[in-house]
């Protein structure tokens, strides 16, 4: 069993023995993970190691075939969960932003609060403006997403998820599709969120950033969490040879920053 993040009481996110297959390919293998409230956990590992699938399982975009997931005291995996209610509490941001191309920025951000939470249009747009101001994109409110840079689009996608006032944010390699010079704006926003106490799970290739913001780091390999620990430990004295190998490859590729 993997080490828990410490703290008292039940973890905010509690994952036990989760496995998943795509056909005959096992993509998650008996995953155990605990995330305490207000903590940031980074999932690292090669592409195909199961990071994204694990995140997508956490808000049931993927079906969990085996094991148990409990978020905020609510079991997700017993088949009785109201997925729509659950997803209102869990925001997810994707690698490819997935903004709605036929809607302006303000419409993107205010749609879900209006339709899923029943907030009035006026109030939803007002709140969206506040959020956009916070990320310095208020003047883009009436633009369509294709008029924005990748970094701007991704920040709007983060804000779109935040507009639902989630208790947990899942970030799925959100800087992987960005030009290097656009990455820092997005990471600054995530850093701010971490400082504000948002509970977050990030799948990321940005090791320097993971080391800086994470309370805990999990190294995934072949669908399993091979090693979990504090960032200093994982990045300076990894126990597992596979972790060491992965990190040295990343270092060679110049992604350690």
Chain residues that interact with other proteins, rule: CB under 8 A: 59, 61, 83-85, 87-88, 90-92, 94, 96, 98-102, 111-112, 115-117, 146, 160-161, 164
Nearer to other proteins among residue 8 and residue 84 (C-beta): 84
* Nearest approach, Cβ of residue 85 and other proteins (Å): 8
Burial of 118 (0-12, 13-18, 19+ CB in 10 A): exposed
Residue-by-residue DSSP string for 155-219: HHHHHHHHTT--SEEEEESTTTTS-HHHHHHHHHHHHHHHHTT-EEEEE-S-HHHHHHH-SEEEE
Find the Cα–Cα–Cα–Cα dihedral 106, 173, 190, 115, rounded to 10°. Answer: 30
Nearer to other proteins among residue 165 and residue 192 (C-beta): 165
* Nearest approach, Cβ of residue 159 and other proteins (Å): 12
Nearer to other proteins among residue 100 and residue 248 (C-beta): 100
* Nearest approach, Cβ of residue 152 and other proteins (Å): 16
Find the Cα–Cα–Cα–Cα dihedral 103, 104, 106, 112, rounded to 10°. Answer: 10
* Nearest approach, Cβ of residue 56 and other proteins (Å): 8
Nearer to other proteins among residue 59 and residue 216 (C-beta): 59
């Amino acid at each position: 069993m993997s080490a828990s993040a410490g703290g008292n009481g039940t973890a905010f996110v509690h994952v036990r023995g989760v496995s998943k297959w795509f056909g005959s390919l096992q993509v998650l293998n008996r995953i155990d993970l605990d995330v305490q409230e207000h903590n940031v956990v980074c999932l690292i590992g090669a592409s195909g190691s199961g990071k994204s699938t694990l995140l997508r399982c956490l808000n049931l975009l993927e079906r969990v075939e085996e094991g148990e997931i409990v978020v905020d005291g609510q079991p997700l995996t017993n088949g009785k969960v109201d997925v729509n209610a659950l997803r209102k509490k869990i925001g997810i941001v994707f690698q490819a932003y997935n903004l709605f191309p036929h809607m302006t920025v303000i419409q993107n951000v205010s749609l879900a609060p209006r339709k899923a939470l029943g907030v009035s249009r006026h109030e939803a747009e007002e709140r969206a403006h506040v959020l956009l101001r916070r990320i310095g994109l208020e003047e883009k409110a009436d633009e369509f997403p294709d008029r924005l840079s990748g970094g701007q689009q991704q920040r709007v996608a983060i804000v779109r998820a935040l507009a639902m006032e989630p208790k947990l944010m899942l970030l799925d390699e959100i800087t992987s599709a960005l030009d290097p010079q656009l990455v820092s704006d997005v990471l600054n926003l995530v850093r701010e969120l971490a400082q504000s106490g948002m509970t977050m799970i990030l799948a990321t290739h940005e090791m320097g950033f993971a080391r800086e913001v994470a309370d805990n780091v999990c190294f995934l390999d072949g669908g399993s969490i091979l090693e979990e620990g504090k960032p200093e430990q994982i990045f300076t004295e990894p126990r597992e040879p596979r972790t060491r190998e992965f990190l040295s490859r990343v270092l060679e590729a110049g992604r350690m920053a």
